[in-house]
């Protein structure tokens, strides 16, 4: 697999920067050496650019002469494809920061399954013998904002796996046959760089039911290739885990659904999980939020998703500083400046005066209080409705499993499903 042209152009910056540094230090011999190295790399790129220009020019002439020729792969077109930087020569590996599943509230069963799939087969290799095989493909489905993507990223970070995050835009190509090749190359790269996790977010947009809604041939071919590659991983690829997430599991093709040996429902966070999310989101921000305040906030946000709580906390954190940064004048108390509303107080300064005197860093940072959350509560409402939950729970009862600690958010009674119009 050759290095993409763009990557090689970037690589030339290394000797070029060395040459410039050497010249600044008066090291002419060193500068000459690095300049020659940079020019040698540039010359290779120039030759390839010339080839590209010639091939693309010829392709333009062919299409202009016969616009109905289509996109069948002649030898020339195949050569054009082999030089295209949009081909999957570049890695899809995503760099992740450190993470640990214990930092996520709730979802104990899901975290256990992910550890069984990723960490245990490496740490306790001698246990996985005979017919005891690790999970190869796990589907995470649930309402939007419930933490499916975060779970995938966190298990990859904890297990120190290479994380391949892909979306339809990474795969779909206008040239016939290229999309399937992208899928094949992606899985091949994941196997070569194992241990690795292939994460397909919003998989429903890529793998809808085949043969429906006047499906185009390229779309069907992508799904067929994905099915083949997933089966290859499930049949024995060492230390490669496929994770996928969706908010609409009923939109998946049934063959794709069958490829997942575990389908886990990720519900809205329960009371304890919401409390944990508030604690994590507030973090190290100066605050006066104790256990009782966290309990109140958790009880007050029943039906909220993790992302709903995140936006709620962000607004409240801003609410604590808004009065300070909008104050007309400040007075110094000790080593800090605080807002002053008393018109008769002397030695006041405006915010502009503090900026001019470079004393901005001396303004007291207000601590966030429960009152700040109450002030912005009316602006924040849950984004998941009961109809969405009904469909997800129905899918869970038919095809999936649920976490051992179910959400206390509103959910329909078993056997009393309402007909939801689409």
Please state, rounded to an integer, the average pLDDT across all residues of the chain: 79
Burial zone of 98 (CB within 10 Å; 0-12 exposed, 13-18 middle, 19+ buried): exposed
Q: Is there a single domain that holds both residue 77 and residue 100?
A: no
In a domain, 314, yes or no: yes
Q: CA-to-CA distance for 362 and 364, rounded, in angstroms?
A: 6
Q: Is there a single domain that holds both residue 104 and residue 244?
A: yes
Q: What is the CA radius of gyration of the chain?
A: 28
In a domain, 393, yes or no: no
Q: Is there a single domain that holds both residue 18 and residue 67?
A: yes
In a domain, 20, yes or no: yes
| Count of residues making up the chain | 422
Q: Is the pLDDT of residue 326 over 70?
A: yes
> Closest Cα to residue 156, out of 190, 185, 127, 182?
190
With beta carbons less than 8 A apart as the criterion, state whether 90 and 7 touch: yes
Last residue of a domain, one of 265, 292, 311: 265
What are the structure tokens assigned to 366, written together? 């207000």
Angle, CA 93 vertex, CA 86 and CA 87 arms, to 5°: 15
What are the structure tokens assigned to 132, written together? 């005891």
In a domain, 152, yes or no: yes
In a domain, 384, yes or no: no
Q: Is there a single domain that holds both residue 178 and residue 29?
A: no
Last residue of a domain, one of 265, 286, 310: 265
Q: Looking at residues 169-182, what average pLDDT do you find?
A: 71
pTM: 0.67
| CATH label of the domain that carries residue 159 | 3.40.50.300
* Cis previous bond, 137, omega within 30: no
Q: Is there a single domain that holds both residue 241 and residue 101?
A: yes
Q: CA-to-CA distance for 392 and 17, rounded, in angstroms?
A: 55
pLDDT in tens, 62-101: 666 665 544 444 444 444 444 444 443 445 666 666 678 8
Q: Is there a single domain that holds both residue 340 and residue 202?
A: no
Q: Is there a single domain that holds both residue 113 and residue 74?
A: no
Q: CA-to-CA distance for 241 and 163, rounded, in angstroms?
A: 10
In angstroms, the Cα distances linking 40 to 8, 33, 387 are 11, 11, 63
Please enumerate in sequence order all residues whose Cβ is within 8 A of that of 411, keeping only pairs 6 or more positions apart, or say none.
Answer: 267, 389, 390, 393
What are the structure tokens assigned to 330, written together? 């400040």
Residue environment code for 321-354, b if the CB has 16+ CB neighbours within 10 A, otherwise e = eeebeebebbebeeeebebbeeeeeeebbebeeb
3-state secondary structure of 295: helix
In a domain, 87, yes or no: no
pLDDT in tens, 137-169: 899 999 998 888 888 888 888 888 888 887 766
Burial zone of 157 (CB within 10 Å; 0-12 exposed, 13-18 middle, 19+ buried): middle
| Structural domains of the chain, count | 3
In a domain, 36, yes or no: yes
Q: Is there a single domain that holds both residue 125 and residue 203?
A: yes
Q: Is there a single domain that holds both residue 100 and residue 232?
A: yes
> Closest Cα to residue 407, out of 46, 37, 145?
145
Q: What is the pLDDT of residue 295?
A: 94
148 or 1, higher pLDDT: 148
| CATH label of the domain that carries residue 335 | 1.10.8.60
Q: Is there a single domain that holds both residue 243 and residue 326?
A: no
Q: Which domain holds residue 20?
A: 5-82
Please enumerate in sequence order all residues whose Cβ is within 8 A of that of 316, keeping only pairs 6 or more positions apart, or say none.
Answer: 368, 372, 373, 375, 376
With beta carbons less than 8 A apart as the criterion, state whether 269 and 145 touch: no
Last residue of a domain, one of 51, 82, 113: 82
Q: Looking at residues 269-279, what average pLDDT do you find?
A: 91
Q: Is there a single domain that holds both residue 277 and residue 258?
A: no
In a domain, 401, yes or no: no
pLDDT in tens, 108-147: 888 888 998 888 988 888 898 888 888 888 999 999 988 8
Q: What is the pLDDT of residue 317?
A: 93
Q: Is there a single domain that holds both residue 234 and residue 176?
A: yes
């Amino acid at each position: 697999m050759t290095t993409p042209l763009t990557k090689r152009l970037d690589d030339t910056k290394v000797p070029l920067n060395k040459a410039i540094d050497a010249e600044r230090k008066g090291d002419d011999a060193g500068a000459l050496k690095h300049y020659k190295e940079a020019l040698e790399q540039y010359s290779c790129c120039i030759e390839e650019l010339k080839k590209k220009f010639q091939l693309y020019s010829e392709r333009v002439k062919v299409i202009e002469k016969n616009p109905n020729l289509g996109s069948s792969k002649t030898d020339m077109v195949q050569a054009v494809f082999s030089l295209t930087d949009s081909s999957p020569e570049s890695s899809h590996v995503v760099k992740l920061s450190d993470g640990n599943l214990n930092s996520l509230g709730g979802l104990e069963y899901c975290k256990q399954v992910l550890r069984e799939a990723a960490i245990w087969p490496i740490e306790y290799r001698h246990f996985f013998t005979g017919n005891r095989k690790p999970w190869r493909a796990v589907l995470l489905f649930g309402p939007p904002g419930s933490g499916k993507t975060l779970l995938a990223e966190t298990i990859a970070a904890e297990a120190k796996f290479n994380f391949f995050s892909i979306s339809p835009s990474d795969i779909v190509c206008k040239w016939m046959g290229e999309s399937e090749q992208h899928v094949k190359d992606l899985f091949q790269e994941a196997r070569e760089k194992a241990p690795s996790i292939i994460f397909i977010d919003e998989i429903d947009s890529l793998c809808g039911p085949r043969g429906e809604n006047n499906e185009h041939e390229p779309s069907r071919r992508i799904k067929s290739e994905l099915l083949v590659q997933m089966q290859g991983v499930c049949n024995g690829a060492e230390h490669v885990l496929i994770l996928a997430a969706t908010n609409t599991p009923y939109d998946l093709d049934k063959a794709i659904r069958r490829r997942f040996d575990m389908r886990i429902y990720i519900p809205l966070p329960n009371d304890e999980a919401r409390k944990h999310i508030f604690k994590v989101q507030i973090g190290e921000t100066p605050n006066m939020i104790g256990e009782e305040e966290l309990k109140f906030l958790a009880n007050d946000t029943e039906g909220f998703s993790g992302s709903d709580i995140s936006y709620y906390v962000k607004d409240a954190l801003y609410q604590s500083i808004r009065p300070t940064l909008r104050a007309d004048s400040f007075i110094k108390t000790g080593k800090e400046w605080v807002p002053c509303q008393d018109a008769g107080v002397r030695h006041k300064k405006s915010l502009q005066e503090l900026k001019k005197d470079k004393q901005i860093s001396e303004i007291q940072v207000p601590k966030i209080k429960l009152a700040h959350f109450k002030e912005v509560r009316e602006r924040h409402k849950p984004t998941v409705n009961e109809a969405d939950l009904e469909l997800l729970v129905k899918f869970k009862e038919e095809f999936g499993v649920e976490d051992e600690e179910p959400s206390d958010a509103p959910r329909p009674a078993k056997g009393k499903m309402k007909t939801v119009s689409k």
